[in-house]
A and B are shown apart, each in its own frame.
Chain A
Amino acid sequence: MEWTDSAAAEEARKGDQRAFGALVERHSRSVFRLAFRMTGNEQDAEDLVQETFLKAYKQLHRFDGRSAFGTWLYRIAANCSLDLIRARKNRAERQTSASSSEAIDLLDQVAAPGPSPERLARSGQVASLLKPALEQLTDLERTAFVLRHYEGCGIAEIAGMLGVETNAAKHSVFRAVQKLRRALQPVVEVAQ
């Protein structure tokens, strides 16, 4: 049976697991893509897909249909990803303080002597700079930027997903862009 998202969500809310299955099959890939872009880790993204749908199933009674089901699901996925990133950071901080290892400054890394921008661009390492650059952003900046730049969500939608004011979402996207432009400057100049 071919359900619309809202009809499937309604049936699922009544307890029809097949309807929920249809939603899972339809949205799994986009949830995975978002989770991967937010965490930068394939296994984490896989776990987040499961967690997102499990949470969505338990919270179906809260889905009131005012927003699209996909948006509501993205909100859950984004928040699950944020929780995981925070937990990962906490773990990393504990490990770092225990081993007294040196912190890596991304900007120093980018500006440090090494392969020229031309060589970086040629060797296809451009994208590899993005991941550490994204990791330097705050959780809110990273989430807002990924949702805006890569997922094409509107600012108001992002604000709704993250439970922040529209202005806060705007500032986060702007700050993320500023930081990333600085971090990726050599590569971006080559591309231009």
Chain B
Amino acid sequence: MTHLDQEQLTLAYYGEVDAESARHLNGCPECKLQFDRIKASLDSFPEYPAPERTDSYGKDVWLRLLPQLPVKSRRRPWLSWWTMAPAFASLVAIAFLAGMLTQRNRQVPAITAEARERVLLMAMSDHLERSQILLVELAHAAPGANELKVERARARDLITENQLLRDTARSAGDMSRAALLDDLERVLLAIANGGAEDLDALKERMQGNDLLFKVRVMSANTRQEGRKL
């Protein structure tokens, strides 16, 4: 192999050399001599220190940068229209069934009582499941995270649905479900309104009445009942 040129020798100093050239360099005294001269020269290049920055520099940069950042909408997969579609569908179904229940004396239902109850149970189970996801996320939210804009918006969406389901359950004489939905509504309102309670207080409240556990059990039982029908 021919001797390495100055460029190859320089790049060898930085470890940017192919295996064949490296082997040659190790076995060729002439190239080694040239390489040592380049190495000595580059080793003695002066340092180029940057002015020191304090430990809080990153935070300072962030604080200066924050007001300049353009606002981005926080998009989550579950907020996409196709994932929200079932929620809207169940809301429509609940509204329809609630209307039928309140006007049952005046109209002849077009569907059987069994089918109606099954749809209602599945809608309620779906609602409880989405409420449960929200509560779990809040239970695991970082301490001090009071900017829960997305969670508050979701809570607001769930409140309307929750009220319809609670009234429907009460009309149907299902007092245990109505009571749970009452408890759930209070927490959803607290989340939606914010300010009144911080995250830690919300967590305490959820833990205090085992709300998450109750919602989970009720959701599973409701779904099972609906499937049996």
Taking beta carbons and an 8 Å cutoff, which residues of A are in contact with B? 1, 14-17, 20-21, 24-29, 32-33, 36-37, 42, 45, 49-50, 53-54, 57-58, 126-127, 129-130, 146, 148-150, 154-155, 170-171, 173-174, 177-178, 180-181, 184, 187-188, 191-192
Contact = CB atoms under 8 A, between A and B. Distances in A.
Contacts of B6: 174, 178
Interface in B128-146: 142
List 6 tightest A-B contacts by C-beta distance, closest first: A25-B58, A191-B44, A15-B74, A28-B58, A36-B50, A15-B72
Interface residues on B, range: 35 or more
Contacts of A188: 41, 44-45
A184 B46 CA distance: 9
Interface of B: 6-7, 10-11, 14, 16, 38, 40-42, 44-51, 53, 57-59, 61-62, 64-66, 68-70, 72-76, 142
A130 B46 contact: yes
Nearest to B142: A1
Nearest to B74: A15
Given A36-B51, A188-B45, A14 B75 contact: yes
The CB with the most chain A CB atoms within 10 A, among B6, B50, B53, is that of B50
Contact of A127 (B47, B64, B70, B76): B47
B47 A17 contact: no
Contact of A174 (B7, B49, B58, B62): B7
A42 B51 contact: yes
Contacts of B62: 21, 24-25, 28
Given A37-B48, A148-B14, A177-B10, A24 B70 contact: no
